[in-house]
Structure 1
Amino acid sequence: MPLPTSPAPRRLLTTLAAATALLLSACAGMGPGKPASWAAPQPLVAPSSFTGVHGLAVDKQGRLLAGSVVGNAIWEVDRNTGAAKILVGGPDGQADDIAIAPNGAMAWTNYLQGSVRIRDNDQQPARVIASGLPGLNSLNFDPRNGKLYATQVFLGDALWELDPSGAQPPRLIAKDLGGLNGFEVGPDGMIYGPLWFKRSVVRVDPKDGAVSVISASFETPAAANLDGKGNVWVIDTATGELSKVALDSGARQTVARLSSALDNLAIAPDGTVYVSNMADNGIQAVNPATGAVRQLTRGALAVPGGIKVDGNSLWVADIFTLRKVDLGSGAVTDVKRMHAVDGDMEYPFAVGLGSKTMALSSWFTGTVQLIDRASGKTMAMLHGFKAPYDAIPMDDGSLLVAEIATGSITRASGANFVDRTPLASGLGGPVQMVLGPDGQLYVTEAAGSIQRIDPKTGAKTQVATGLALPEGLAFTPWGTLVVAEAAAGRLTELDLAANQRRTIAENLPIGLSAGPGLPPPYVPTGVAVGADGSIYLSADRNNGLYRIKPVR
C-alpha cells in the first residue's frame, strides 16, 4: 500500500506508530521478562508435622508418641489438639516403631540404620542395643518381665530377642515368617501380630517361633494391638480398614473404614485407638465403641520431593503418593498411593515429564516407573538402576536416568528399556535434571556444580560451580536457571550467559539431614517455574510447598 504524501496523514501515522511502540513497551514490561526482585516465599500448600508418620505408642505419662523414618525423629502429639513437637531429633530419633518398657523406658527401631535404641527416661541419652540388622521394623516388650523382641521386615524377614541392656547379642528366634510387622506381646507372653505378605494375623511363640493363625481374612495387614478384652485390633494398609478380631474364634468386625497406606496403631488406656497414615502424614483417633473417627493431625503433603509444572497444575513426587496440586487454589489431589489395593508405586522421590509419559524415580528401591499421562496407568516398572535420583522420558522413546551411585546419566531404550548405556559418566553425584530451551540437558551435581550435557553425544560442559549441594533446578521464561542449594537453605538464579548469579530467597526449610550411610541429597528439593515466572519449591524440612512471585 502506498504511503500518504500529505503532512496530516504522515503526522497521524507517526503518532500511531509512537503509540504502538509505547503499547508494546508496556506489554513487554507486563510479560515474563527478568524481574527486578522477588517477593517473599508464600506457602501454596501449608507445612505440617512429621515427614511421613509410622510407629505409635502411648507412654506411661499418657503421651502419644509418633515416629518418622524419613524425618529421623520421634514426635510428641497432644491427644486433644493434635499439636506436635519433636521429642527425639535426628538422626538418632529415626523410628519405624516405638515401644514402652514396663519400667517406662522407651525403645525404637532405626529402620534405615538397622539398629535399635533405648533410653531410660527423657533426661537420659539413648544407647544402641542392637545393630547390623537392616530393616528393623517393629518391636515390643513383654509386659511381665521386660523382655524385648524386634522384627526385620522388607529389608529382611526375621524375629529377634534383644537384650535391653545391650550386653548380650540378639537371639534369632525365627526367619522367613512372612513379614511380622507391627506386633504386641500379650499378657501370656505370646506375640500377636500381622504377617504382611501372608494376609494373616497370627500368634507367635517367642520360644521357638511357632506360628498359629488367628485370622487370614486380610489384604495387607500392617499392625495389630491387644485391647485386654479378648480382641486384637488390626489395620489393613491396602483397604484402609480398622478391624476387631476375637482371639478365641477369629471372628472379624470392621469398625472403621479409613484411607489406604495405614502404618501403625496404638490403644490408649481409655480405649481410644490411634492410627497412623504415612501417605496422609496424619493420625486419626477412633472410638472403639462407635467407630467414630476424629482427625487428630494431618498434612496435605507427606514428604514432597521432585516437582514439575504442567499447565495450571504441579506434579509432586510425595514418596508415599503421587499428587497433583492446583496452582490457583493450592488444592491437592491424590493420583496414586503406596500400598493401596491397586497401588503400584515404589516410594517415588522425583518426577520427570515427557510429552506422553511421566517418570517416577526412587533411589531407595532402584526403580523408575513410567506412567501414561493420558490414562494414568503404569506402562513399565523398571528395576536395577543404581540409586536413580531423576529420570526424563525423551521424545525419541528413550529414557534418561541420573544414577547417583555410578555418577552417570544412563540412556535406557529398546523393548522394555533393557538397552542401557551410559550417556555421560564421571559426574559428582547427579541429583536432578532439566532439559533447557537450547535442547541441552542440565544436571545438578551434589559435589556443587551444574553440568550441561549434549543428549545426543554426551559431551559435558561445566556451567556453574561453588554451589552448596545443588538439587532441584528449572529454567525461567527469560532464560535464567533457578537452582536450590539445599545445604545453604537458599534458592539462587543463575544467568549463564552473563556469568552472574543472585539470591532469590534464603533461610528456606530445605536440606533435610540424612541418617548415617544415606546419600547426602536424601530427599531432593524440587524446583519448578510457571509460565508467569513464579517459582515453586518443595520443602522437605516441613512438608510445605512454596510459591515465590517475581516483582516487576
Structure 2
Amino acid sequence: MNRILSGALLAATLAFGACTTTAPPTRPAAWAPPEAIVAPSSFAGVHGLAIDGKGRLLAGSVVGNTLWEVDRQSGAARVLVKGPEGQADDIAVGPKGELAWTNYLMGALRMRDSDTAPMRVVAKDLPGLNSLDFDRRNGKLYASQVFLGDALWEIDPAGQKPPRLIKKDMGGFNGFEVGPDGMLYGPLWFKGQVVKIDPANGAMTVIADGFKIPAAANLDGKGSLWVVDARSGELVRVDLASGRKTVAKQLKPSLDNLAIAPEGTIYVSNMADNSVEAFNPATGELRLLTSGKLAVPAGLKIDGNDLWVADIFGFRQVDATTGAVRDIFRMQRDPELEYPFAVGLSATHFALTSWFTGTVQLVDRKTLKTTGMLHGLKAPVDAIPMADGSVIYAEIATGSVTRASGPKFESRQVLASGLGGPVQMILGRDGALYVTEAAGKLTRIPLDASAPLRPVAEGLAMPEGVAQTPWGSFIVAETAARRLVEIDPVGGSRRTVADNLPIGLEPGPGMPPPYVPTGVAVGSDGTIYMTADRNNALYRIRPQR
C-alpha cells in the first residue's frame, strides 16, 4: 500500500471513527483537467483610464502591476506595460504624447516619451501616489497622494528637480484633471466634494458637494465636469457655472475612474468587476466593453455548495455547481470591507483578512453584520473564527500564529512563532491547525500544545492555499511551480493534481512574497476548487475513480 493511501486511511479513521455508517469518498486514481466555472477576465482590479494621442484607451491595474490597452470597439484587452513597472493607479498623456502613470504601491511616478522610449522614474518616495495629469499648455505635471498620504505636488517631467509641494491635507484629492485654464479639477474622496485648485498657490474652491465618495472627475470641454461616485455608483454631470448636479447614469458601486474621448464618449472603470463601460452622454446609451465576475480572487473556503471568495475588491459567494456569482460585500459600497485577501469560515462567522490594511473583520453569517474588527496587526494573511468566539490569525510580518479572545479580542495567545512566512491555514480533521509557510513547508500546529510543531511536508515551491480531502490528504497550491499537489499527512509524500496553472502572480517591490494567495477548497465529494490570480478565474478539478 503506498504511503499517501496509508496516511489518508489513517487520517480518515481519526476523523470519522471506526464505526461510521457512511464511508468518505475514496482516494481517486487520477484527476480530470481543470475547468473554469468562473471565466477569466482582464486586469486585476481596474483603475485609471486615459485616451492617448493615437486614440487608444489605456487602463491601469495596481494589484496586477500592469498597464493595459483596451480596444474601444471590441473590448479586447492586452498588456501594454508589463509588471512591476506597469503598476498604474492613474494614467496621463502629455502634450507631446508622453505617457505617465503612478506606481501607487511603490510611491513612484514613471514616464516614457513614446512606446519605444525607455521608462524613467521622475518621482519616488511618495507613498500612495495616486492621480496625475499634465497641463497641456506648458507640459507641467501634477500628482496627488491619497490614502497613504494627502498632498498635491508639481512633478518635474525630466526628473531633475525635487517635487514641489502645492497643498497638504485636502481630504483625498483623487482622480483629477487639469483644465484649459490651468486649474486642477477633482474630487475630495473623504469630504464628498468636487473642487478646483490653483496650482500656483494651492487656493481651493468648492464647486459641488453632497457626494458619497467622489472618486474621479473629468471635464468635457462643454461647461460640465463629469464625476464618478464610488459608493453610490452614479455617473454625475456637474455644471461648472452653477454647481448643479445631475445623475446621468446609475452604474454599480466601486467605480474608480473615467476618461472622456474627443468625440464625447465617457469611459468608466469599476474595480470590483474588472469592467470598463462606454457611455454616450448624447443618447444615454451604455455599452459594456469588458468585465469579469471576479476581480482578484484570493482566499477560498467551501461550505456545502457555496464557495466563499475573498476577492480583494469584494467578498463573493459562488455556486459550486453553476459558477453563479453573488456579491456579499463590495469595496466602497460597504465601508467596513478592507481589501480582503483571505476568508476563514466557522458555522456562525466569516473572518476576512487583509495584510494590506492590517485587519481581520469578523462577520455574522446570518445577518452579514460586522461583529468584530482587529486592527493594527502586522501583515495578517489568514484568520479562522473559532466556535468559542475566539479567532486565530497568522501574521507574515512576525512569522507567528496567534489566538485572540475575550472582550474586544484583547487577550492574545501565541500558538506558534518562528514560522517561515505563514500564508494560509485550515483546521484539520484531527483538530490541529495546518499552515503553509512561504519558506516551503506545510506545518502541523496542535492547538492544545500536546505536541511540538511538526512539518508535514518540506521543499514546497511557495505553498499558499491548503485544504484537506475527505480521505485525509492535503491539497496545496505550489504557486512558484504553478501546480496543485496532494500530500500524505503522515509520510509527506506527494503527487501532482494539476500543473501549468495560472497562479503565482508576482508582487511588486516591497510586497510580501505570497502577495495574492491562491485559494484552495475541497468539496465533500473530493472535488477541488482553486482561485487563479493570474487571470481572475475560479477552477474546478473533479476526481476520477
TM-score in terms of structure 2 length: 0.95
Deviation at 1:517, TM superposition (A): 0.6
Matches within 5 A, 1:274-423: 274-340=267-333, 342-423=334-415
1:204 aligns with 2:217: no
Q: Residue 474 of structure 1 aligns to which amino acid in structure 2?
A: A
Matches within 5 A, 1:10-21: none
Measured in 1, the distance between the counterparts of 2:539 and 2:447 equals 31
Q: Residue 358 of structure 1 aligns to which amino acid in structure 2?
A: F
2:177 counterpart residue number = 184
Aligned with residue 465 of structure 2, among 472, 475, 479: 472
SS at match of 1:212: strand
1:448 counterpart residue number = 440
Measured in 1, the distance between the counterparts of 2:115 and 2:452 equals 56
2:104 counterpart residue number = 111
Measured in 2, the distance between the counterparts of 1:459 and 1:157 equals 48
Matches within 5 A, 1:525-540: 525-540=518-533
Matches within 5 A, 1:491-530: 491-530=484-523
Q: Residue 468 of structure 1 aligns to which amino acid in structure 2?
A: A
Q: Which moved more, 1:51-60 or 1:418-427?
A: 418-427
Asked if the contact 2:24–2:471 (Cα under 8 Å) also holds between the matched residues in 1, the reply is no
Measured in 1, the distance between the counterparts of 2:205 and 2:503 equals 47
2:6 counterpart residue number = none
Deviation at 1:496, TM superposition (A): 2.1
> RCO (CA 8 Å, sep 6+): is it higher in 1 or 2?
2
Asked if the contact 1:346–1:362 (Cα under 8 Å) also holds between the matched residues in 2, the reply is yes
Deviation at 1:410, TM superposition (A): 1.0
1:214 counterpart residue number = 207
Measured in 1, the distance between the counterparts of 2:376 and 2:111 equals 36
Measured in 2, the distance between the counterparts of 1:276 and 1:30 equals 50
2:153 counterpart residue number = 160
1:60 aligns with 2:38: no
Asked if the contact 1:96–1:138 (Cα under 8 Å) also holds between the matched residues in 2, the reply is yes
Deviation at 1:31, TM superposition (A): 6.3
Q: Which moved more, 1:386-395 or 1:289-298?
A: 289-298
Aligned with residue 256 of structure 1, among 241, 249, 260: 249
Deviation at 1:422, TM superposition (A): 1.3
Matches within 5 A, 1:128-139: 128-139=121-132
1:24 counterpart residue number = none
Deviation at 1:102, TM superposition (A): 0.5
Measured in 2, the distance between the counterparts of 1:469 and 1:100 equals 39
1:12 counterpart residue number = none
SS at match of 2:525: coil
Give the number of the structure whose alpha-carbon radius of gyration is greater: 1
Deviation at 1:81, TM superposition (A): 0.6
SS at match of 1:416: helix
Percentage of pairs with the same residue: 66
Measured in 2, the distance between the counterparts of 1:187 and 1:73 equals 30
Which aligned segments of 4 or more residues in structure 1 are displaced greater than 4 angstroms? Answer: 28-31
2:73 counterpart residue number = 80
Aligned residues: 524
1:43 counterpart residue number = 36
Q: Deviations over 1:194-228 (max 9, x none)?
A: 00011100000001111000001211100000000
1:32 aligns with 2:25: yes
Q: Residue 525 of structure 1 aligns to which amino acid in structure 2?
A: T
Measured in 2, the distance between the counterparts of 1:343 and 1:290 equals 33
Q: Deviations over 1:449-469 (max 9, x none)?
A: 111001122831111100000
Q: Residue 45 of structure 1 aligns to which amino acid in structure 2?
A: V
2:475 counterpart residue number = 482
SS at match of 2:500: coil
Measured in 2, the distance between the counterparts of 1:210 and 1:199 equals 18
Q: Deviations over 1:95-127 (max 9, x none)?
A: 000000000010000000000000011111210
Q: Residue 148 of structure 2 aligns to which amino acid in structure 1?
A: L
Asked if the contact 1:424–1:459 (Cα under 8 Å) also holds between the matched residues in 2, the reply is no
Measured in 1, the distance between the counterparts of 2:523 and 2:457 equals 23
Change (3 A) 1:315 1:279: same
Q: Residue 408 of structure 2 aligns to which amino acid in structure 1?
A: N
1:545 counterpart residue number = 538
Deviation at 1:30, TM superposition (A): 10
TM-score in terms of structure 1 length: 0.94
1:230 counterpart residue number = 223
SS at match of 2:408: helix
SS at match of 2:116: coil
2:5 counterpart residue number = none
Measured in 2, the distance between the counterparts of 1:142 and 1:171 equals 15
Measured in 2, the distance between the counterparts of 1:291 and 1:157 equals 35
Measured in 2, the distance between the counterparts of 1:268 and 1:348 equals 34
Measured in 1, the distance between the counterparts of 2:531 and 2:321 equals 17
SS at match of 1:487: coil
Asked if the contact 1:114–1:135 (Cα under 8 Å) also holds between the matched residues in 2, the reply is yes
2:453 counterpart residue number = 460
1:97 aligns with 2:90: yes
Measured in 2, the distance between the counterparts of 1:308 and 1:265 equals 34
Asked if the contact 2:456–2:490 (Cα under 8 Å) also holds between the matched residues in 1, the reply is no
Q: Residue 504 of structure 1 aligns to which amino acid in structure 2?
A: V
Q: Residue 344 of structure 2 aligns to which amino acid in structure 1?
A: G
Deviation at 1:154, TM superposition (A): 0.1
SS at match of 2:480: helix
Asked if the contact 1:336–1:343 (Cα under 8 Å) also holds between the matched residues in 2, the reply is no
Matches within 5 A, 1:428-439: 428-439=420-431
Measured in 2, the distance between the counterparts of 1:295 and 1:348 equals 26
1:243 counterpart residue number = 236
Measured in 2, the distance between the counterparts of 1:343 and 1:300 equals 21
Measured in 2, the distance between the counterparts of 1:32 and 1:82 equals 44
Q: Residue 489 of structure 1 aligns to which amino acid in structure 2?
A: R
Deviation at 1:150, TM superposition (A): 0.1
Q: Deviations over 1:347-386 (max 9, x none)?
A: 0000000121110000000000000011111111220111
Change (3 A) 1:548 1:30: farther
Q: Deviations over 1:506-545 (max 9, x none)?
A: 1100000000011010000000000110100000000000
Measured in 2, the distance between the counterparts of 1:52 and 1:511 equals 16
Measured in 2, the distance between the counterparts of 1:188 and 1:241 equals 27
Measured in 1, the distance between the counterparts of 2:145 and 2:392 equals 34
1:426 counterpart residue number = 418
